[in-house]
Structure 1
Amino acid sequence: MQITCRGEILILNKERAIYWPAQEMLIISDLHIGKPAHFRKHGIQVPSTIGDQDLTRLKGLTEQYHPKTLLITGDLFHHQLNSDITVFSQWRAEFTDLKFLLIKGNHDRLLTKDYKDLGIEVYEKELTCWPFRFIHDRPKAEDEYYTISGHIHPGVTIYGKARQRLSLPCFYFGTSYAVLPAFSAFTGLSRIKPEEGDRFYAITPSHIVEV
């Protein structure tokens, strides 16, 4: 789905990503690489294929849009180095020409050397690229920039005629900030209390629908 935000065209993709054509930039949040391995280390059996599927989806997006830059608004990694991150390193080697930017999230705990070895340019707090500010969790104060963040894994509930209800990940666009859905399929959902003028774009298996 194509929308306009602060005069810029943004393409919302059902694979939980935004493509910004003017900057040739693919934007995602909360990939949480290493989360399945972190759970397995603590005795919770989570299939390793979950992380593989996320990287396969991300590869498909890079091949679809051919971006010059991939921007992650926090929580690229879930914890410290583990076997899942080794798989990501192999994936990263396929896209050596892709500029890789990370705004650090609360789960991004690798060493500076680790990010450098993976070819990732790190921003400790935020990145501004007019008219947007990219940050992991939205700031409390507002200014002339429109903030795009992640962190809370937004979702929306759709109600049917026979009391059915379905919770879906979504893109949220408010008057001063937007929240990206978590890219990883291995995450929960948090509801955002709507305010006047808010836009919600629910992600279904086949397409995106404004609700």
Structure 2
Amino acid sequence: MTISCNGEELILNKERAIYWPAKEMLIISDLHIGKSAHFRKHGIQVPANIGNDDLERLGKLIGFYDPKTLVITGDMFHHKINSDVTLFSEWRKKFGGLKISLIKGNHDLLKSQEYQSLNIDLIPRELISAPFRLIHEQPKSLEKDEYYTISGHIHPGVTIYGKARQRLNLPCFYFGEHHAVLPAFSAFTGLSRIQPEKNDRFYAITPSGIIAV
């Protein structure tokens, strides 16, 4: 689904990503590489293929849009170096010419030299790419200025109600008056409800596509 935001055209993809054609930029959030391996290490049985499936989806998006830059608005990694991160290292070699910029999130705990070895540009707090500000978690005290903020962190979701008390909890893109929140890219995440305000826009992600709700 193509939408207009702060004067720019953005393409929302059902694989939980935004493509910004004017900048040839693919934007995702909360990839959480290493989360499944981290859980398994602590005795929690989690399927081993989760991380690989996420990277396959990301690879297909890169192949489809052919972006110049991949921007990840935080929590690219879940903890520290583990087997899933090693898997990413091999995946990264397939896209050696792609610039990857990571805006550091609260789970991004790798050492500086480890990001460098993975050919990732680490951005400590925020990336300004007019007319947008890209950041992991929007501060409550963030002043309103000429930039529209795009963040991640909270894994937004929306509930759709059907007949016979049916309901579906779906990941979504949220666009408010001054900021947007990306869905978590990783399939291995929960969902958080956002309290809507007047004129807020929600775009639910279904298996077949994006729907405005």
TM-score band by shorter chain is: over 0.9
Mean alpha-carbon deviation: is it higher for 7-16 or for 133-142? Answer: 133-142
> Paired residue for 2:185?
183
**Alignment length, in residue pairs?**
211
User: What's the CA shift string for 1:97-131, capped at 9, x where partnerless?
Assistant: 10000000000000000000000001110000000
> Paired residue for 1:154?
156
Alignment of 1:108 with 2:137, yes or no, is: no
> Is there any run of 5+ residues in structure 2 with no aligned partner, and where?
none
Q: How far 1:199 sits from its partner (Å)?
A: 0.1
Q: How far 1:61 sits from its partner (Å)?
A: 0.0
User: What's the CA shift string for 1:18-37, capped at 9, x where partnerless?
Assistant: 00000000000000000000
- Inter-partner Cα distance in structure 1 for 2:191 and 2:199: 22
> Paired residue for 2:203?
201
- Inter-partner Cα distance in structure 2 for 1:83 and 1:158: 37
- Inter-partner Cα distance in structure 1 for 2:208 and 2:98: 28
> Paired residue for 1:47?
47
> Paired residue for 1:84?
84
> Paired residue for 1:166?
168
> Is there any run of 5+ residues in structure 1 with no aligned partner, and where?
none
**TM-score between both structures, scaled by the size of structure 2:** 0.98
Structure 2 residue identity aligned to 1:40: R
> Paired residue for 2:28?
28
- Inter-partner Cα distance in structure 1 for 2:176 and 2:182: 12
Q: How far 1:45 sits from its partner (Å)?
A: 1.1
Where does 1:1-80 land on structure 2 (aligned, <5 Å)?
A: 1-80=1-80
- Inter-partner Cα distance in structure 1 for 2:139 and 2:198: 20
Q: How far 1:139 sits from its partner (Å)?
A: 2.4
**TM-score between both structures, scaled by the size of structure 1:** 0.99
Q: Secondary structure at the match of 1:197?
A: coil
- Inter-partner Cα distance in structure 1 for 2:78 and 2:169: 24
Q: Secondary structure at the match of 2:12?
A: strand
Q: Secondary structure at the match of 2:164?
A: coil
Structure 2 residue identity aligned to 1:145: Y
Q: Secondary structure at the match of 1:63?
A: helix
Mean alpha-carbon deviation: is it higher for 132-141 or for 150-159? Answer: 132-141
Q: How far 1:161 sits from its partner (Å)?
A: 2.2
- Inter-partner Cα distance in structure 2 for 1:97 and 1:38: 29
Q: Secondary structure at the match of 1:94?
A: helix
Structure 1 residue identity aligned to 2:209: H
Alignment of 1:99 with 2:99, yes or no, is: yes
Q: Secondary structure at the match of 2:87?
A: helix
Q: How far 1:143 sits from its partner (Å)?
A: 1.8
What is the aligned-residue RMSD (CA, Å)?
0.5
